Amino acid sequence: MVDNLLLAFGLTLMAGLATGIGSILAFFTKTTNTKFLSLALGFSAGVMIYVSMIEIFVKAKVALVGALDETLGNWATIGGFFGGMLLIALIDKFIPKQGNPHELKKVEDMNASSKAVQDSTLLKMGTFTALAIAIHNFPEGIATFTSALQDPALGIPIAIAIAIHNIPEGIAVSVPIYFATGDKKKAFKLSFLSGLAEPIGAIVAYFLLMPFLNDIIFGIIFSGVAGIMVFISLDELLPAAKKYDEAHISIYGLIAGMVVMAVSLLLVI
């Protein structure tokens, strides 16, 4: 159990701090590799959709039907699933457009001006962007942690998928903060720190949920995790992949992600 706990927390930390990778890319590359991002985001969506619908949702249903009965268990499963969707949708709704992580940035946006604008209003806006993405990442941390704690074979690909989709979010934090301050170190620091919301979500999940964990709580959490990840995939990852897309690269990535997830689940059975 201790080994699983450390692994789950480590995976969540790794996934969250991938925002720093996006920040580094913004500073040390001159153009955005749109083909790579389109493929990677599509792959991430494929992994998350497949594992949510084929594995996590089913495990949640089995746990809830076993703890309750056929009717109540099925209703509780779909309630948790759509409840997870509602949670992440509400978070998105209350994040203003300029701070929403779905508003994509490219490296070119940073290099478009050699002189950053020094303005306290822009600084507040840039800082708010980092805060908004941190709030958005919080439930992702809970999803990664609980999945990895329950089943490390599920947690590893989920953590990788979350990490991939955090890379463009790191760019989205760095660009406005750099414009506001002219300070690359500050932009990187806030981008890096915004990713800490995911391991914080893991800590909250551990202390608030784990002491009361039983089949019912586990089933509701897992069905909620499935809902969160499907919503993120449909509302964030796939639209972002299509914005970066050239030809059908994002769809190829989506299918590849599903294939890799399907094969990996068969290999660990």
DSSP collapsed to 3 states, the chain: CHHHHHHHHHHHHHHHCCHHHHHHHHHHCCCCCHHHHHHHHHHHHHHHHHHHHHHHHHHHHHHHHHHCCHHHHHHHHHHHHHHHHHHHHHHHHCCCHHHCCCCCCCHHHHHCCCCCCCCHHHHHHHHHHHHHHHHHHHHHHHHHHHHHHHCHHHHHHHHHHHHHHHHHHHHHHHHHHHHHHCCHHHHHHHHHHHCCHHHHHHHHHHHHHHHHCCHHHHHHHHHHHHHHHHHHHHHHHHHHHHHHCCCCHHHHHHHHHHHHHHHHHHHHC
Which residue, among 161, 98, 89, 159, has the nearest Cα to 125 in the 3D structure?
A: 98
Task: Please tell me whether 136 is known to bind a ligand.
Answer: no
- Asked if 194 and 136 count as a contact pair (C-beta separation under 8 A), the reply is no
Q: Is 108 annotated as belonging to a binding site? A: no
165 is in an annotated binding site: yes
CA distance 129 to 101: 8
166 annotated as ligand-binding: yes
Q: Are 203 and 185 in contact (CB under 8 A)?
A: no
Ligand-binding annotation for 246, yes or no, is no
Asked if residue 169 belongs to a known ligand binding site, the reply is yes
> What residue numbers does the annotated binding site for Fe(2+) cover?
137, 140, 166, 169, 198
List residues forming the annotated binding site: 137, 140, 165-166, 169, 198
Extract the annotated binding site for Zn(2+). Answer: 140, 165, 169
